[in-house]
Amino acid sequence: MRALAETWAEVMFSPRQFFQNLRDPVPGWIAPIIYAVIVGTIGTILSLPGLYLYGTSWLTALGLGEGEITGSLIVGMLFFAPVFSFFRILFFCVVFHFFVRFFGGKRDFKNTLSAVSYSESPDVLSVIPVLGDLIKAVYKPILLIWAIRESQGFSTARATLVVIMPGLLMIVLVMIFVMMFFSMASNFFLSG
């Protein structure tokens, strides 16, 4: 647990130095993913008191009111937090590595996996209601840009493109879907 705390502190407070050490050769993929799963799970656990007391917008979006945040929901979140963290990390690693390759990255998938995994460190800030999520929203992408830049040997501009392109692509796809939906709906109502 001490090594985990030291790694977290180094990522959060000396990210440039930490991510410079992720250059080739990256020793393995197991340690980074275990770190990300543990940090993600800790972040979920630390967010539970605020979740129970105040609720969150995403639970409200699911149709759950504050009174419906029960002990069984919390236990379910604790059980599934490590599983969800694992698959979320793998998904984002694949997506970001696709863009790393697209922008000319030559280094191994392990480099991207390490960058994405250690960039999960701000999840622990979920313990601070509202402010922790705000800090995470700002600092996590910055950490990811630094991590991609250092682990892939990219410029800051290319690393930034790798980080923002998935979001931009998602926005474009949603806009296309919405336009298609409204086009089909207007054709349906105009023809009928």
Contacts of 90 by beta carbon, 8 Å cutoff, 6+ apart: 33
Residue 98, phi-psi category: left (phi > 0), alpha (psi -120 to 50), beta (remainder) = alpha
- Among the ranges given (70-74, 81-85, 110-114, 172-176), the one the predictor scored with the smallest mean pLDDT: 70-74
- Mean pLDDT of all residues in 4-15: 91
List pLDDT tens digits, range 40-52. 888 877 776 665 5
DSSP per residue over 71-96, as a string? HHHHHHHHHHHHHHHHHHHHHHHHHH
Q: How would residue 90 be classed by pLDDT, with cut points 50, 70 and 90? A: very high
At residue 145, φ and ψ (nearest 5 deg) are -60, -45
> How many H helices and E strands in the chain?
8, 0
Average pLDDT over all residues of the chain:
84
User: Tokens representing 127?
Assistant: 């313990």
Higher-scoring residue by pLDDT: 26, 46: 46
**Domain-wise residue ranges, the chain:** 2-191
- Mean pLDDT of all residues in 84-113: 92
Q: Name the pTM for this structure.
A: 0.78
